[in-house]
Structure 1
Amino acid sequence: MKKKLILFFFLIASISAPAQTFDFEEQYKYARILSSKNPDSSEIVLNKIIDSAQKRNLPEFLVKAYYLKSYNSYLRSDAEKSLDFADKALKISTQNNYSIGKALAYRMQGTQYAKLGLLKESSTSLHNALSEVKNNNTEEGHELKGMIYNSFLILLNKNQYKEKEFYSKSAIQEFRKLKNVSRRNELLISAYTNAGYNLSEVEKFKEAKYFFEKALSLVGENNHYLRSNILNDIGFSFSKQHKPDSAVVYYRKALTIVNQYGFNEKKIEVTKNLEEAYAELHDQPNTEKYKLENLKLKDSIAYNKAMAVNKTLSKKEESFDQQLNASHKTSKGLIIACLVLIMISGIAVFNTIRLRKKHKKAVAKIYRQGISPVTYEDDPQEISEDIKTKNTSTPAEIKISPEVEEHILNGLKIFEESLEFNNKNISRYNLSNTLNINTKYLSTVIKKHKKFNFNQYINHLRISYIVNQLKNDPQYRKYKINHLAEITGYSSHSAFSLEFKKITGLHPSVFIKNLDEIS
């Protein structure tokens, strides 16, 4: 009897042992390392962390796992899932007042918004992330602050070198404070690579080479994502030096890695760079090859959300059919189901017809009268820049002489007539430089005479331009949405579509379809 009791307790102990010895910190570190090597393997570990964290009510590790899932989805260019996991992490962090978790979630939101072209939303999220850890001087705090500074670089264009330099150096400073040598070196790889890229943009190639060499000396053979990043940016540096042959060598090395491990977000950038490098070499076949590959990849990523929705609906429809067949034995249930189905179909048909009429009416109005201006909104980024410059809590009222005001208005007239607003790199900063004025004067005149903030002004000009082209030139209606986006200077299909719908109330494809019917 005594032996049986001992055996019984031994079995109980052996069953409970795995739960007690599950090392969340080590498992999370392992999943994080796998993200840069193979996101699919990382997902397996993360699912185990989520399951165990839910059972043991450990919200901190649940948040970190969802954050890393968001990052893995970002690497695959699955924007919908990336934002969904970031939202889950933010919700749990808010409920548990977990600042690190909120900063992680906001940082991932900001990074993904920037890739979608939602720069205002991205800036807000990244500033929220920084405010959560601004005074946190722990290992985790320094690490996260450095990562957030790195993310701010996505918002800046090549003319904002001083801002880029500030964020690059700030990231490096934060990472150098880490005592964990392996983690410090891992994070410094990205920071050094960013510094090399930024220096290449302003043609400081010797300094750039120094940072690239430091990054390469730290990256391991198995850190596939960071290695592809470095190789791509070295290729960019050679391209800026007008050495397309060398650029192609490094771009192709990067492409081999991203193809093997499914880093679609990076693949978009690499294929675009290859297209430009081969164009400089006058290699038409390869130029066309990578241009087509880049466009296909952009299209597939732009539509992945719609495909996911269609897949979900198909599964629901299949499930409904199975339930309907199972209930076939009960005539009463079948009749009720049929009546409900007829009712839903009728409502759907009615709503479809009503929606088509509404769309047609809206397009007809725009066709006759043009698009209506949106209501002026303060741009938080402009306000924060003004406050930073002034060193005060609120920006002071700006007074402009009539002569300067007239000069700015004439400059804006030339800017509009020359269609410079469709330039992909246009910003408040470089337009101010062109007009030889400061940014505050420019914003003030635009607000007074155009009734817009700067971003609204540019977006309204772009959408008005493309609407007029669609109205007056039927050839434009045959173009793909991503081509219309490129024409008007937007960074992506989704960014163009979101802004088009915000201003006109309609998705571009809906507008074009109805325009064909009324013109």
Structure 2
Amino acid sequence: MIKNKFVSTCLLTFFGLNITHAQLSNTKKIQLLAEESYQELLENYNSNDSKSDIETDQLYAKAFLLKAKEENNPIKIADAYYMLSDLYTKTSKNEQALAYADSIIAITKNKNNYSYPAKAHLLKAKILGSQSNFQDSMNELAEANKYANINKNEDQQYQIKYFIAILKSNLGQSEESLKLFKSIVEYYENKYQENREYENEYIRSLYAYGIAFNTSKKYDSVQKINDKAIQLSLRTNDSSYYNRLLLSSASVLYNKKEYKSSLDSIRKLQKISSSRSNNDATKNTINFLLGRIFYQQKKVDSSLHYLLKVDSFAFKNKFFFPSIRENYELLIQHYKKEKNIEKQLFFIDRLLLVDSILDNDVKYLSSQINEEYSKPNLILEKQQIIESLEKNNITKIIVLVILSVFVLLLVIIIIRNKKKQKIYQKRFQELLENKKSTETKITKEKEVQTNTQKKPKEIGISEIIVNDILKNLERFEENNDFLQSNISVASLAKRFKTNSKYLSKIINVHKDKSFSNYVNELRINYVIEELKINTKFRKYTIRAIANEIGFNTTEAFSKSFYKTTGIYPSFFMKQLEKQEISKKM
């Protein structure tokens, strides 16, 4: 694997150095890379963390896509689209990223996949949330939640919980947000202890937890969490969260009125990271913080420079957040002192518009926001152009309707899950009482009767050959040879000293099923009996059991178990354990 990775890297380097002579197009590079395995392409894609490698990442992603399209593999195509969408978010090309996310949803919504389309809905929620489009972001989270619950995908459920906590924080529901973040941090901390691959998620959850504490003005807690997250982030090659954590620390210092220390933290951040390494939202946050720091230090020109930058970015990108109100309060104060009525009224209008957007899109209103420049004061300064600013009741009704629908959907999902549990429990009892074994026995008796009734000419194979193969199959079943992995029609035919065509046809006619179904059902019937009588076997993981009885993947084993029994192996094993515990009690 390492050798292949090295070779592919050398290829790309060679292409880059000799492009003038070879005139090798990106299309040719992609075609050559597509000959690698999915795993190799993904590993090479993930190994490029810096933004300077975006073009290289695109080559790997497009090679992945080409390979998936040639094989007509919709899930792999979705994986490639996700890689490309992720690349576009890194370069702030959100429209292209959303387009790829929509394509993923279109091709996976009916595939009953464990990760998709919930993964794509989560991606859309993240992008829309970064644009302050909280209503659409919430809609995407609702869709993701529906699929994550159906698939019992715990990782996705916690990703959704993470975004809900952020939304609650933006809605001013600080205490609820902190409770959610606490459980999220605990979840990812446990995952991180089990698997270091969860490091990024753990750091991200700590960072967001700190932001929530900052909003709640619990500054000591923020710094404690930030220090822990910074230590973790220094161990990884990805410096994006380290930069954000420095910015979070700068924000805490500002809130504690330690303006010089806050400015020092920002300068440190700017020194260690180039302007290209920070996305637009991060740059805007830095500008917002600098504008406020310089205002408090009475550096008017510097403050004004950054405050105006924040205003320009907000309206150009439709990027509004609750604390941005302070930006306009400071601008209004400045122009009021300057007695610049035209500018003063201009930014009062801006502030009223921001209030309206926050009211309608974020549902965020609190006395703290309006403490210094409340709406009555703004209306008065506008020479009573507006007598009162009423809240939009229609928006509240829409929110209630959406929440009601969401609750109704959750109730429906819960009811459906309960029905499924009853069905699973019934099937478990049937398996426990050997009803399945009885059905298998009856089926075999019917097969014997059918076999005696069928004439050799009906399948076009000599009776001697048929009987010989059936005897071999009988020994195959008695000796549990079906537990061997990688059994194929060809390998078994070779063992029986016959040809694949004869073997396949005899199994189809006399066993009334395809070769793969025949072998898989034998394995499943075997493992059911083994799990019922062997308590040690029950302690194996699903993966270990799958390997033990000849399946190459856990997914293949689970699907085959469900197809044969109507329940999943994890459920069957849990029920067996429950019965064992109840017997001991």
TM-score by length of 2: 0.47
Give the deviation of 1:450 after TM superposition: 6.9
Equivalence for 1:87: 102
Q: Determine which structure has more spread, i.e. the larger CA radius of gyration.
A: 2
Equivalence for 2:180: 167
Q: How does 1:126-275 map to 2 (within 5 A)?
A: 126-134=141-149, 136=151, 141-156=153-168, 157=170, 159-178=172-191, 181-220=195-234, 222-255=237-270, 257=273, 259-261=275-277, 263-275=279-291
Equivalence for 1:28: 42
Residue 60 to residue 129, structure 1, CA distance change in 2 (3 Å): same
- Matches of 1:244 and 1:433, distance apart in 2: 22
Partner amino acid, structure 1, of 2:113: Y
Equivalence for 1:9: none
SS in 1 for 2:112: coil
- Matches of 2:397 and 2:48, distance apart in 1: 39
Give the deviation of 1:191 after TM superposition: 0.4
CA contact (8 A) 1:111 1:154 kept: no
Equivalence for 1:290: 306
Please say which of residues 424-433 and 147-156 is displaced more in the overlay. Answer: 424-433
How many pairs are equivalent? Answer: 312
Question: Which whole-Å deviations, capped at 9, do the CAs of 1:208-267 have from their partners, x for residues lacking one?
Answer: 222111211111463132222211111111112111222222233444526132522322
SS in 2 for 1:134: helix
Partner amino acid, structure 1, of 2:262: A
Partner amino acid, structure 2, of 1:182: R
- Matches of 1:35 and 1:298, distance apart in 2: 29
Partner amino acid, structure 2, of 1:276: R
Unaligned runs of 5+ in 2: 1-30, 320-350, 370-390, 400-585
Q: How does 1:88-103 map to 2 (within 5 A)?
A: 88-103=103-118
CA contact (8 A) 2:35 2:67 kept: no
- Matches of 2:179 and 2:100, distance apart in 1: 30
- Matches of 1:51 and 1:204, distance apart in 2: 51
From 371, 377, 396, the equivalent of 1:454 is 396
Question: Which whole-Å deviations, capped at 9, do the CAs of 1:335-356 have from their partners, x for residues lacking one?
Answer: xxxxxxxxxxxxxxxxxxxxxx
From 276, 292, 296, the equivalent of 1:276 is 292
Give the deviation of 1:30 after TM superposition: 4.8
Residue 202 to residue 19, structure 1, CA distance change in 2 (3 Å): closer
Residue 228 to residue 455, structure 1, CA distance change in 2 (3 Å): farther
Give the deviation of 1:160 after TM superposition: 0.8
Q: How does 1:423-438 map to 2 (within 5 A)?
A: 430=365
CA contact (8 A) 2:171 2:363 kept: no
Equivalence for 1:487: none
Equivalence for 1:323: none
SS in 1 for 2:394: coil
- Matches of 1:452 and 1:432, distance apart in 2: 22
Partner amino acid, structure 1, of 2:355: N
Residue 224 to residue 455, structure 1, CA distance change in 2 (3 Å): farther
Partner amino acid, structure 2, of 1:42: D
- Matches of 1:147 and 1:29, distance apart in 2: 23
- Matches of 2:258 and 2:198, distance apart in 1: 33
Equivalence for 2:355: 422
Residue 254 to residue 281, structure 1, CA distance change in 2 (3 Å): same
Partner amino acid, structure 2, of 1:453: T
Q: Does 1:56 align with 2:68?
A: no
Larger RCO, structures 1/2 (Cα 8 Å, 6+ apart) = 1
- Matches of 1:134 and 1:170, distance apart in 2: 18
- Matches of 2:268 and 2:79, distance apart in 1: 32
CA contact (8 A) 1:258 1:264 kept: no
Alignment identity in percent? Answer: 16
Partner amino acid, structure 2, of 1:422: D
- Matches of 1:433 and 1:262, distance apart in 2: 31
CA contact (8 A) 2:118 2:143 kept: yes
CA contact (8 A) 2:131 2:317 kept: no
From 98, 123, 140, the equivalent of 2:138 is 123
- Matches of 2:174 and 2:267, distance apart in 1: 28
Question: Which whole-Å deviations, capped at 9, do the CAs of 1:349-398 have from their partners, x for residues lacking one?
Answer: xxxxxxxxxxxxxxxxxxxxxxxxxxxxxxxxxxxxxxxxxxxxxxxxxx
Partner amino acid, structure 2, of 1:216: I
CA contact (8 A) 1:254 1:270 kept: no
Equivalence for 2:91: 76
SS in 2 for 1:101: coil
